[in-house]
Amino acid sequence: MLEAYTLFSGSSGNCIFVSDGDTSILIDAGKSQRAIQTALCSLGRGLDKISAIFLTHEHSDHTCGLEVISKTYGIPVHITYPSYSNLVKADTFLSKCAEVHDVIYQVECGNLTIKSFPIPHDSAQNVGYIISNGESTLGIATDMGYVTERIASELSTCHKVIIESNHDIEMVKKGPYPPYLKERILSKNGHLSNEICAKLCVYLAECGIDQITLAHLSRENNTPDLAFDTSKKALDEAGHNVILRVAGPNTIVKAID
Ligand SMILES: [Zn+2]
Ligand SMILES: [Zn+2]
């Protein structure tokens, strides 16, 4: 059975644990080794049982634990070439663990098949992942400036998804951020708003997806209730009964039942 937990989510760090019982992987390692190990231990798991780490992109909230984890465990780290060029320095432990790929790639890892797809964001590259064990399929897409046709169609093939619901547009506009940062967040290379996420939720529910976890919430420009209520209202109005969850910044949330 495929299982997934968001261990950390948001601008203070991101890490998702996915396992089918035999094969376990992480998507991103944007927290310290100690924090990730502690989170895994609370699930009865550990970094020594992780077969591979798959990176979405090179921003530090997705990568800051990698060098220490690479030094301690030597876990293979799958990364796209543009993110690798931007992030990885020669003679680092990470450079020895990195497995560099084209933007669109597919890897078989034990019982899991992991496939990437591009996501617009202000990084050298960003990708989402479709993870399948043959029975169940999980889609992951965060740090999304906007929802491309490709993103919508990739996610529509899944049974469960973890998608970004980063900010409330009005909170960004009225909030304390400097103008350049507001522009960045709201741009087509920024992050996905609650409002657009809600539309994506309705589309995915129409495609048959029955479990959605909202992730990468902004601490300054969103609240868990606001993110949840915005998508829940849209799903209710469209008549869809979907299990909707919100990933916390530091609380482990089960993304698949
Ligand atoms: Zn991020
Ligand atoms: Zn990012």
Per-residue pLDDT reduced to its tens digit, 80-119: 999 999 999 999 999 999 999 999 999 999 999 999 999 9
Rounded to the nearest whole angstrom, what is the distance from the C-alpha of residue 231 to the centroid of ligand 2? 22
Rounded to the nearest whole angstrom, what is the distance from the C-alpha of residue 247 to the centroid of ligand 1? 13
Average pLDDT score over residue span 211-228: 97
Tell me, what's the pLDDT at 66? Answer: 98
Q: How many whole angstroms separate alpha carbon 7 and alpha carbon 118?
A: 23
Rounded to the nearest whole angstrom, what is the distance from the C-alpha of residue 191 to the centroid of ligand 1? 9
Q: How many whole angstroms separate alpha carbon 113 and alpha carbon 132?
A: 5
The superfamily (CATH) of domain 3-254 is Ribonuclease Z/Hydroxyacylglutathione hydrolase-like (3.60.15.10)
Computed over every residue of the chain, the mean pLDDT equals 97
Average pLDDT score over residue span 119-133: 98
Rounded to the nearest whole angstrom, what is the distance from the C-alpha of residue 13 to the centroid of ligand 1? 7
Query: How far is residue 56 from each of residues 119, 144, 150, 227, 244, measured CA to CA in Å?
Result: 9, 11, 16, 22, 23
Tell me, what's the pLDDT at 179? Answer: 95
Tell me, what's the pLDDT at 137? Answer: 97
Q: How many whole angstroms separate alpha carbon 183 and alpha carbon 245?
A: 28
Edge-to-edge strands of the sheet including 243-246?
Answer: 106-109, 112-118, 127-132, 137-141, 160-164, 211-215, 243-246
Rounded to the nearest whole angstrom, what is the distance from the C-alpha of residue 128 to the centroid of ligand 2? 12
The ligand with the least distance to the CA atom of 28 is 1
- For residue 75, how far is the Cα from the chain centroid? 19
Beta strands in 85-181 (DSSP E): 98-101, 106-109, 112-118, 127-132, 137-141, 160-164
pLDDT (tens digit, 9 = 90+) per residue, 181-219?
Answer: 999 999 999 999 999 999 999 999 999 999 999 999 999
The ligand with the least distance to the CA atom of 190 is 2
The torsion angles phi and psi of 237, rounded to 5 degrees, stand at -60, -30
Is this prediction's pTM over 0.95? yes
Instruction: Say whether 131 sits in a helix, a strand or coil.
Output: strand
Q: Where are the domains of the chain?
A: 3-254
Instruction: Say whether 133 sits in a helix, a strand or coil.
Output: coil
pLDDT surpasses 90 at 255: yes
Instruction: Say whether 196 sits in a helix, a strand or coil.
Output: helix
Rounded to the nearest whole angstrom, what is the distance from the C-alpha of residue 119 to the centroid of ligand 2? 10
3-state helix, strand, coil in the chain (%, to 5): 35, 25, 40
Tell me, what's the pLDDT at 128? Answer: 98
pLDDT (tens digit, 9 = 90+) per residue, 152-166?
Answer: 999 999 999 999 999
pLDDT (tens digit, 9 = 90+) per residue, 132-151?
Answer: 999 999 999 999 999 999 99
Rounded to the nearest whole angstrom, what is the distance from the C-alpha of residue 239 to the centroid of ligand 1? 31
Instruction: Give percent of the chain above pLDDT 70.
Output: 100
Rounded to the nearest whole angstrom, what is the distance from the C-alpha of residue 39 to the centroid of ligand 2? 22
Rounded to the nearest whole angstrom, what is the distance from the C-alpha of residue 217 to the centroid of ligand 1? 9
- C-alpha distance across the termini of the chain, in Å: 10
The ligand with the least distance to the CA atom of 215 is 1
Rounded to the nearest whole angstrom, what is the distance from the C-alpha of residue 213 to the centroid of ligand 1? 16
Rounded to the nearest whole angstrom, what is the distance from the C-alpha of residue 180 to the centroid of ligand 1? 18
Q: How many whole angstroms separate alpha carbon 165 and alpha carbon 143?
A: 9
Average pLDDT score over residue span 226-239: 98
Kindly indicate the confidence band of residue 40, based on its pLDDT and cuts at 50, 70 and 90. very high
Kindly indicate the confidence band of residue 257, based on its pLDDT and cuts at 50, 70 and 90. confident
